[in-house]
């Protein structure tokens, strides 16, 4: 497909990796934020194409992974109610809450449905006027405008049987928390290209200036990510700290203004809990008071539900780039995609799921760690 | 979650306040809302995420960037050829 295939060209990818090797003189730690980028890195073995000086650590950019336990418990409570059609993106169904997950609620008789788009949930509300339809609206800035549009559309149509359980998270405040931590190791950042397609690049200019941090706005294909790494290495070696736009075919400095407008109309910025990380001030969206009748948390009175994270899951450290999934004692044993302890093992974008699928290692009798993932490194390039 | 796929706008129509397009993804077509990319026209490539176009792909930027990247691949190939010739 156009704009995909050419960015998977092995010759171009090797050329960029070679350019990185030629430029690097010392160790650098780079973080990609988005889970989609993490999966590309693992799937294509990009980290293994790069020289050993470059360490890639993985950020918190998986909304399913950072959705707090309490929002899952709220979803479960609402989905179990008779008369409710609970609609969610597919990724959320196996995410464990405190005692259950949406699949189990569905198996027990709950009407839980998977949607491709939030507008599918609006259509369901239109077609089922005697039922209450609740959409589980999770996501970063990329997804928030579409979820906001579902509420805006429901209000415009006068639908009284639609509401949104919102769990929106924002990238820049989370990155500030990670970068300001005394244990931070990140020296360069690959910013999430599709978040920036919506929001533009200004917030990342502030981050770069405040933390003297090189940032490359990166795409999602192997060539995009290797080129983002090369841009960061050149900046670091030259002592520069700027925002460079590798994903210029999709990202402008201003971002998508109509999408930003609907965000402003429907949401206001609020403090937000992040699974594993805790509360981060002004790092989420909630519905504005004028949309209160579409706020499922208010409609179903689930505001009092709170929850505690399981202690054996180290996702907090993994999502901040401080540990790798293979550093977790539960990885691949107590915690697998079939029986996940934490959300990063569930989501198709979760970092633990990426390591499990593409980079599981067996110790072997000789103690040498070998990849036993289902996609041999570089074969797919 | 932030996965967005580039597709080509094949046709579009107004439905109430919304603009809805048929978008092709290498043989597969889907209905896509164009509300956030009102300037998209038939023949343009848009990035599609959860049923909405979130951006239009700038073909000129794509071409310019890719030519630079291809040059890097070509340089590597030339280097490898030169090493092969020496061996």
Residues B66 and B31 in one domain: no
Residues pairing with A361 in the sheet: A371
CATH number at residue A117: 3.40.50.11740
User: Is A209 part of a structural domain of the chain?
Assistant: no
User: Is A378 part of a structural domain of the chain?
Assistant: no
Residues B30 and B5 in one domain: yes
Residues A295 and A328 in one domain: no
Residues B62 and B52 in one domain: no
User: Is A245 part of a structural domain of the chain?
Assistant: no
pLDDT of residue A366: 41
User: Is A151 part of a structural domain of the chain?
Assistant: yes
Nearest residue to A170 via CA among A269, A65, A55, A308: A269
Residues B31 and B69 in one domain: no
- Binary contact (B69, A19; C-beta < 8 A): no
Residues A283 and A328 in one domain: no
Residues A278 and A346 in one domain: no
Residues pairing with A86 in the sheet: A112, A134
State how far the Cα of A169 lies from the Cα of A139, in Å rounded to an integer.
6
- Binary contact (B69, A223; C-beta < 8 A): yes
Angle at A64 between CA A273 and CA A265, to 5 degrees: 65
Residues B64 and B34 in one domain: no
Q: Which of A14, A120, A256 lies closest to B55 in CB terms?
A: A256
Residues pairing with A362 in the sheet: A370
pLDDT of residue B70: 79
pLDDT of residue A363: 43
Residues A111 and A164 in one domain: yes
Residues A101 and A151 in one domain: yes
Please provide residue A370's backbone torsions phi and psi, each rounded to the nearest 5 degrees: -125, 145
The residue among A267, A299, A331 that closes a domain is A299
Instruction: Give the residue on A whose Cα is nearest the Cα of B4.
Output: A194
Which residues, other chains included, contact B67 with Cβ-Cβ below 8 Å and sequence gap of 6+? none
Beta-strand pair A28-34/A188-192: parallel
Residues B46 and B80 in one domain: no
Range of the domain at B27: 1-56
Q: Which chain B residues are within 8 Å of A118, Cβ to Cβ?
A: 50-51
User: Is A108 part of a structural domain of the chain?
Assistant: yes
Residues B31 and B45 in one domain: yes
| Residue range B31-61, pLDDT digits in tens | 999 999 999 999 999 999 999 999 999 988 8
User: Is A353 part of a structural domain of the chain?
Assistant: yes
Per-residue confidence in pLDDT tens, chain A, 381 aa: 788 888 888 889 999 999 999 999 999 999 999 999 999 999 999 999 999 999 999 998 888 888 888 999 999 999 999 999 999 998 889 888 888 999 999 999 999 999 999 999 999 999 999 999 999 999 999 999 999 999 999 999 999 999 999 999 999 999 999 999 999 999 999 999 999 999 999 999 999 999 999 999 999 999 999 999 999 999 999 999 999 999 999 999 999 999 999 999 999 999 998 887 789 999 999 999 999 999 999 999 998 787 777 677 888 888 888 888 988 988 988 888 888 888 888 877 789 999 998 875 544 344 334 444 433 333 333
Residues B38 and B63 in one domain: no
* pTM tops 0.80: yes
Residues B62 and B50 in one domain: no
pLDDT of residue B76: 67
Residues A158 and A130 in one domain: yes
State how far the Cα of A31 lies from the Cα of A37, in Å rounded to an integer.
10
CA distance A105 to chain B (A): 23
Band the pLDDT of B66: cuts 50, 70, 90.
confident
- Binary contact (A145, B54; C-beta < 8 A): yes
Q: What is the dihedral of CA A301, B1, B7, A380, to 10 degrees?
A: -160
Starting from the edge strand earliest in sequence, which strands make up the sheet with A132-139, in order?
A111-114, A84-88, A132-139, A162-169, A278-287, A267-274
User: Mean pLDDT, to the nearest integer, of B50-76?
Assistant: 85
Is B82 an 8 Å CB contact of chain A? no
Residues A273 and A359 in one domain: no
Residues A282 and A337 in one domain: no
> What's the structural domain count of chain B?
2
Residues A106 and A155 in one domain: yes
pLDDT of residue A373: 40
Q: What HEC string does chain A produce?
A: CCCCHHHHCHHHHHHHHHHHHHHCCCCEEEEEEEHHHHHHHHHHCHHHHCCCCEEEEEEEECHHHHCCHHHHHHHHHHHCCCCEEEEECHHHHHCCCCCCCHHHHHHCCCEEEECCCHHHHHHHHHHCCCCEEEEEEEECCCCHHHHHHHHHHHHHHCCCCEEEEEEEECHHHHHHHHHHCCCCCCCEEEEEHHHHHHHCCHHHHHHHHHHCCCEEEECCCHHHHHHHHHHHHHHHHHCCCCEEECCCCCCCCCCCHHHHHHHHHHEEEEEEEECCCEEEEEEEEEECHHHHHHEHHHHCCCCCCCCCCCCCCCHHHHHCCCCCHHHCCCECCCECCCCCCCHHHCCCCCHHHHHHHHCCEECCCCCCCEECCCCCCCCCC
Residues B31 and B64 in one domain: no
Range of the domain at A352: 315-367
Indicate which of B54, B67, B68, B78 best probes the interface with A, i.e. most A CBs within 10 Å of its own CB: B54
State how far the Cα of A215 lies from the Cα of A201, in Å rounded to an integer.
10
CA distance B70 to chain A (A): 6
Q: What is the dihedral of CA A152, A155, A161, A164, to 10 degrees?
A: 30
Other C-beta atoms within 10 Å of A281: how many? 12
Show which of residues 3-42 on chain B sit within 8 Å of chain A, judged by CB atoms: 3-6, 8, 17-18, 25-26, 33, 35-38
pLDDT of residue A374: 38
State how far the Cα of A353 lies from the Cα of A331, in Å rounded to an integer.
10
User: Is A81 part of a structural domain of the chain?
Assistant: yes
pLDDT of residue B80: 67
User: Is A6 part of a structural domain of the chain?
Assistant: no
Residues A267 and A351 in one domain: no
Nearest residue to A225 via CA among A246, A201, A197: A246
Residues B36 and B51 in one domain: yes
- Binary contact (B54, A194; C-beta < 8 A): yes
CATH number at residue B46: 2.30.30.140
SS3 percent helix, strand, coil of chain B, rounded to 5, is 30, 40, 30
Q: Which chain B residues are within 8 Å of A262, Cβ to Cβ?
A: 35-36
Residues A161 and A91 in one domain: yes
Q: What is the CA radius of gyration of chain A?
A: 21
Residues A260 and A358 in one domain: no
> What's the structural domain count of chain A?
2
């Amino acid at each position: 497909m156009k704009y995909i295939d050419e960015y998977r060209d092995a010759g171009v990818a090797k050329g960029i990796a070679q350019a990185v090797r030629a430029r690097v003189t010392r160790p650098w730690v780079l973080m990609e934020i988005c889970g989609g980028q993490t999966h590309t890195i693992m799937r294509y073995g990009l980290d293994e194409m790069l020289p050993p000086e470059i360490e890639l650590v993985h950020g918190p950019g998986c909304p399913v992974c950072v959705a707090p336990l309490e929002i899952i418990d709220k979803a479960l409570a609402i989905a179990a109610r008779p008369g409710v059609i609970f609609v969610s993106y597919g990724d959320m169904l196996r995410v464990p809450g405190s005692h259950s997950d949406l699949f189990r609620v569905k198996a027990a008789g709950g009407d839980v449905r998977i949607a491709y788009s939030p507008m599918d949930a609006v259509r369901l509300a239109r077609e089922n006027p005697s039922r209450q339809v609740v959409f589980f609206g999770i996501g970063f800035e990329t997804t928030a405008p579409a979820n906001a549009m579902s509420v805006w559309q429901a209000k415009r149509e006068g639908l009284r049987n639609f509401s949104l359980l919102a769990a929106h998270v924002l990238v820049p405040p989370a990155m500030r928390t990670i970068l300001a931590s005394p244990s931070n190791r990140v020296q360069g950042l690959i910013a999430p290209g599709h978040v920036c397609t919506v929001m533009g690049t200004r917030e990342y200019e502030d981050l770069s200036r405040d933390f003297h941090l090189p940032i490359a706005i990166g795409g999602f294909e192997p060539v995009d990510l290797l080129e983002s790494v090369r841009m960061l290495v050149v900046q670091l070696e030259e002592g520069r700290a700027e925002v460079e736009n590798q994903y210029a075919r999709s990202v402008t400095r201003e971002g998508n203004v109509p999408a930003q407008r609907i965000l402003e109309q429907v949401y206001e910025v609020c403090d937000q809990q992040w699974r594993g990380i805790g509360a981060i001030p002004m790092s989420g969206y909630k519905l504005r008071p004028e949309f209160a009748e579409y706020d499922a948390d208010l409609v179903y009175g689930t505001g009092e539900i709170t929850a505690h994270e399981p202690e054996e899951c180290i996702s907090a450290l993994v999502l901040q780039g401080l540990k790798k999934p293979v550093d977790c004692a539960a990885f691949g044993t107590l915690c697998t995609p079939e029986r996940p302890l934490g959300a990063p093992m569930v989501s198709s974008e979760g970092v633990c799921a990426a390591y499990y699928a593409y980079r599981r290692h067996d110790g072997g009798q000789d103690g040498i760690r070998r990849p036993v993932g289902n996609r041999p490194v570089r074969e797919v390039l | 979650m932030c996965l967005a796929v580039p597709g080509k706008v094949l046709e579009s129509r107004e439905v109430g306040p919304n603009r809805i397009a048929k978008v092709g993804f290498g043989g597969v077509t889907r209905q896509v809302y164009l509300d956030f990319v009102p300037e998209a026209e038939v023949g343009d490539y848009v990035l599609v995420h959860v049923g909405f176009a979130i951006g239009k792909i700038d073909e000129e930027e794509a071409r310019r960037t890719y030519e630079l990247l291809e040059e890097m691949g070509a340089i590597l190939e030339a280097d490898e050829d030169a090493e092969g010739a020496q061996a």
